[in-house]
Amino acid sequence: PIGIDPDEFHALKEHPAVLEAERGIVETRPELLIVRVDRTDPSKNVVRGFRAFALLFQRYPDLAGRVGMLALLDPSRQDLASYSEYLVAIQRTARSVNDHFQTEGWTPIELRIEDNFLQAVAAYKQYDVLLVNAIFDGVNLVAKEAPLINERNGVLILSENAGAHQELHEWAVSVNPFDIAGQADASHPALAMPAE
């Protein structure tokens, strides 16, 4: 297991650029916010995560307009065809979900593709649910970093195939990364979980 530096993240959460990005998130966020911070690596399972998010609205239509997903994705290895094709699939899937469900004043998925770590730290502070649904991951430090500085009693949904699951499963909602329906079903109680 790889640890993180808590002091670094407690200092980062007050960085001026983080506070500015956080203000932007707060001003535009829906009532409930699901955040994912990943590279555009096929192993991160972004497309299945978006499909599960769409299924959430099909199964629980009362959540439409109340829940949004902020997906902050760092472009990864775009010189490889399989990675660049996966990025196109990510964009296509996000567009499809938005085209199907969006209403005036509400877009389900806000997709930002850029390398912006301080923006990610701001999102860590503001999530209600953090989605980490990697197919396989050695550790996944996002699952450790974000809960450390979250300010909304956020819930971690964590792939059972992430290395961090071994350490964090007791305090997370576990999901099978291949099970889209299971991820959708896990999102509903995670969003409704009482703060305590």
Determine the 3-state secondary structure of 109 from DSSP.
Answer: strand
pLDDT given for residue 53 in this prediction: 98
pLDDT given for residue 13 in this prediction: 95
pLDDT given for residue 15 in this prediction: 97
pLDDT given for residue 81 in this prediction: 83
146 touches 38 (CB < 8 A): no
Phi–psi pair at 28, nearest 5 degrees: -115, -5
102 touches 142 (CB < 8 A): no
> How far is Cα 67 from Cα 109, in angstroms, rounded to an integer?
9
pLDDT given for residue 196 in this prediction: 83
Q: How crowded is residue 4: how many other Cβ atoms within 10 Å of its Cβ?
A: 13
Could you tell me which of 158, 134, 159, 179 has the C-alpha nearest to residue 43? Answer: 134
Counting as low any pLDDT under 70, the low residues of the chain are 1
pLDDT given for residue 77 in this prediction: 83
Count Cβ neighbours within 10 Å for each residue of 59-70 and write b for 16 or more, e otherwise. ebeebebebbbb
pLDDT given for residue 34 in this prediction: 98
Sheet of 173-175: strand order equals 109-113, 67-74, 32-39, 129-132, 155-159, 173-175
